[in-house]
Chains A and B, each alone.
Chain A
Amino acid sequence: MVIYSKSDLQAARQLFRDKQPIEALVEARDALRNNPDNADIAQFIQAVLANLNALMKRAQREADHAEVIRLGRWVMFAPAFSATAPAIVLSAMRETLSPAERGVVLREWSGSGPLPDVLWEEAGAVLAELPTDPTQVAAGFEILHHVPGNATALIALAGHLGALGRPSRPDDSQVAGLLQQLQGRWPGLENTPPDVVDRKTGYDTIRVELGTADLRHRMARSNFVAASDDLITLALSVEHAVARMEGLFQPIMDATVPAEDVWALADPNSVHYVMRNPAPLSPAAQQLLAAPHPGQWRNRHFARVRVILSLWLRAINFEASQDRIGYLWLVLDPLIHVLIICIVPFLLHADQVSDMNTFPFAIIGACFWMTFRAAATGALAGGGVLKSQLEHPAVRRFDIMVARGFSAIVVYFFVGLFLLFVNTFMGLSGFPVNLPLFLVCFMTMWILGMAYGIILHSLVLRYPGVRRINGFLIRAIAFTSGLFYVTEQLPDDVARLILWNPLVHVNQLARSYWFYEYNTRDGDPIYVIWWLLAMVVLALSCNVVDEHRPESVRA
């Protein structure tokens, strides 16, 4: 048993770093051979192949044909690039190599893996140009084995045989008999093209039955002289019959095989037009395309909420994808922020603030403030990473702003919930006095943040320097929001000034609804409601006006 060593892959990686991708590929393939189930090696090989493919395309652009052939020889066997690489390599070969050289190269490559059909076709085409010798005759039979019915190869092969003194034309009676046998295997030929794989299997069966199947192997060993004339004639007859059989399929094949000129696929006048002979579709595709028209958009109002939630999830997934432990950071980041803010009240107040325990007091202040700030930041960015989603007709500008701000309420609700639960568990705080009203305060804070962000965003569209002003403004709002204190502690003149800020009212009302020990004297719900209404109306107005502003386009 071969034990896979990590050093094999490391050696391959080192070669790749040393800009020797082909050597790295060979090394990695050897390592994979020893351990075929290793996903790391397979992934590395894919990466190297992608790199080789890119290098090959660059060489193609620079018309460096030799380099294209050198690199393409490795790339074209990879399934991921088999659709395009063989054609690129073939084009480079035609530019630089003579037919004889192409034939030699293709024959050599055929030992590395299954050659793409396009290269077998090329090999058949160059066969006529090759010097007449037993090796080329063997190559001719091999081409016919891979591309049965290749008339060019058959004619060239017959020419070679004639030049070598062998019968170049198969006996007509033999051909007729074989054709009869072949035809008997595909009834209803005129209506349905049988699968090409079935036909190849049928040809191989006939070759085995008539004893010509291993002729090409014997010839490949340069044992051409040992083959009897009769056997070679018979083999040629078989291949000639195969070619004639394939000729019967040709009109059907013309319409079903991919066109060389891709534009013909879209040309209604072309025999290759895709709708002329449509290929069978997968059951899922059939079901999808046959589904009845869904009509107009359904459940518009409910759909709006679903769209916002989906946009929010998309933003979350996007942010989480930026880091290997991105989802963990989505929780850890706000949690650390809140805990850092919580340190400040401890420095200011020690154990209690107006009979409230400092830790729960600080958590409420920090979570409320961070909710406001995060909602404002999300809305101020005008959607940020979600802006590109506006190209979907189902998405409105307001949706992406709300979706961006929605993270704030979800994240800080759960962070706050977790920390307050820890508090309760530690006996620092009991259950809230009035949970519904406490949650109303939390929601109010979020709405105020959203409204603030939308209004600021509208101003930024008119004058981008507002972003700088916001930097100072939001700090002023933070320090007057009751984040670290309650106004009842402050001198009356200072408190009167600070009470202009609606956030301090919300914070103090929230603390009143949480703590039994504290009942705010300064917090005024009516004042908050007026602010809330004014901000919401102003934000919605800004949004309506901004929607009609001339926008930039992605030209």
Chain B
Amino acid sequence: VTVITLDTVSLDINFGGRRQSVLRHASYAVPVARMALIGESRSNVVALLDLFSRRLIPQSGQVRFGGRVSWPIGHTAPFSVAITGTQAVSHLATLYDFDRELALAFLRAEMDEPEQISRAIASWPRLRQTRFMMLLALIPQFDVYLVDGNLVMTEDIAFTRRFLQMFLTRTRGCTLLITARQVRLLRLMCTEAVVLRDGKLETMQDLEAALALSNRVPTVQTADFQRDDDLSDNDFMF
């Protein structure tokens, strides 16, 4: 059973003003398993996540989805802190087609100060914001979970315990692709890896060998942030 199938896919990204190849006529079928997602560089791994979450569309080839794919869990960008928690839940309920009232009941039960959910997320402490964003990932039911963040919060053991219990229950029988943000967790949760190397994807049964591969290749950490330039509505009248 496969949930994401790549058929001779070529994917390029714009990196520092240059065109960089991530995949070259790559074919691969992502199986139903818990796998580490390891690449030659951080930008390539993020590009792959973006491909799976449909933010990027390949230049050639086809990506077929056999189920629902999550957003990259751990990315904060899709969540604006300017809106209230209730507004964020309503928005996600529309995007992912889940029961809004049940989701709110769930969040009220799990959050430390439930009444705060109707206030702007920006007014919450950082810890509560993080908890909220992690709990949101438990609400929609996906077939593929993309994880690019910390699932274990070393300073918040009680929450980590509750979250992991629910996350592992939720992801049972699903595909889990985890990037090497928390290598220790990767070792505990995954037994094999999807490795992106030389423009191709392959499965490596030996997780340690895959991790060693990621260590050997120098990681490109220079981020090339997307410009968020937005023209103001007040820039000119005519």
Contact = CB atoms under 8 A, between A and B. Distances in A.
B and A form one assembly: yes
Interface of A: 50, 79-80, 83-84, 87, 258-259, 262-263, 265-268, 274-275, 278-279, 281-285, 287-289, 291, 293-294, 296-298, 303, 306-307, 309-311, 313-314, 317-318, 321-322, 333, 337, 340-341, 369, 373-374, 377, 380-381, 384-385, 387-396, 467, 471, 474-475, 478-479, 483, 547-555
B230 A266 contact: no
Nearest to B154: A262
Contact of B125 (A50, A274, A467, A483): A50
Given A80-B125, A369-B238, A392-B78, 17 more contacts: A83-B157, A274-B161, A275-B165, A279-B165, A284-B109, A288-B102, A288-B138, A288-B139, A373-B238, A374-B233, A385-B80, A391-B78, A392-B53, A393-B54, A393-B70, A475-B238, A551-B50
Contacts of A284: 102, 105-106, 108-109
A275 B152 contact: no
B120 A321 contact: yes
B83 A391 contact: no
Interface residues of B, number: 94
Closest 10 CB pairs of A and B: A384-B230, A282-B109, A310-B94, A284-B105, A478-B238, A284-B106, A388-B77, A550-B12, A555-B43, A321-B82
25 contacts: A50-B125, A263-B184, A263-B188, A265-B157, A266-B164, A267-B188, A274-B165, A274-B168, A282-B106, A285-B106, A310-B90, A310-B91, A333-B233, A374-B233, A381-B230, A388-B77, A392-B78, A475-B236, A550-B13, A551-B55, A552-B15, A554-B223, A554-B226, A555-B221, A555-B222
B188 A268 contact: yes
B81 to A, nearest CB: 9
Contacts of B159: 83
A283 B223 CA distance: 43
A471 B231 CA distance: 11
Interface string B44-82: 001100100111111100000001111110010110101
B97 interface: yes
A274 B164 contact: yes
Nearest to B139: A288
B164 A265 contact: yes
Nearest to B113: A80
B103 interface: yes
B222 to A, nearest CB: 7
Contact of A265 (B15, B95, B161): B161
A372 to B, nearest CB: 11
B46 A281 contact: no
A263 B187 CA distance: 11
B71 A391 contact: yes
A265 B83 contact: no
Given A50-B125, A391-B55, A297 B72 contact: no
A555 B223 contact: yes
A555 B56 contact: no
Contact of A341 (B13, B168, B170, B237): B237
Contacts of A373: 238
B158 interface: yes
Contacts of A279: 161-162, 165
A406 to B, nearest CB: 13
B27 interface: no
Main secondary structure of the interface of A (DSSP, over half): helix
Interface string B175-203: 00000000011001100000000000000
A321 B55 contact: no
Contacts of B151: 266
Contacts of A314: 80, 83, 87, 91
Contacts of B220: 555
Contacts of A467: 231
A555 B127 CA distance: 23
A31 B68 CA distance: 53
B154 to A, nearest CB: 5
B63 to A, nearest CB: 11
Chain B CB within 10 Å, residue with most, of A79, A80, A284, A287: A284
A385 B232 CA distance: 11
Contacts of B46: 553-555
Contacts of A307: 94-95
A291 B165 CA distance: 16
Given A288-B139, A471-B236, A262 B157 contact: yes
Nearest to B60: A548
B224 interface: yes
Given A268-B188, A297-B68, A555-B222, A384 B106 contact: no
A547 B59 CA distance: 9
A281 B166 contact: yes
B160 interface: yes
A389 B96 CA distance: 13
A552 B154 CA distance: 32
A393 to B, nearest CB: 5
A547 B11 CA distance: 12
A377 B95 contact: no
Chain B CB within 10 Å, residue with most, of A87, A275, A298, A474: A275
A83 B222 CA distance: 35
B169 A289 contact: yes
A281 to B, nearest CB: 7
Interface string B138-161: 110100000000011111111111
Contacts of A340: 237
Contacts of A80: 112, 125
B95 A392 contact: yes
Contacts of A381: 229-231
A258 B157 contact: yes
Chain B CB within 10 Å, residue with most, of A288, A294, A310, A471: A288
Contacts of A263: 152, 184-185, 188
A57 B141 CA distance: 37
Nearest to B83: A317
B225 A554 contact: yes
A478 B237 CA distance: 9
A555 B42 contact: yes
B216 interface: no
Given A266-B152, A313-B91, A258 B158 contact: yes
Nearest to A475: B238
Nearest to B79: A388
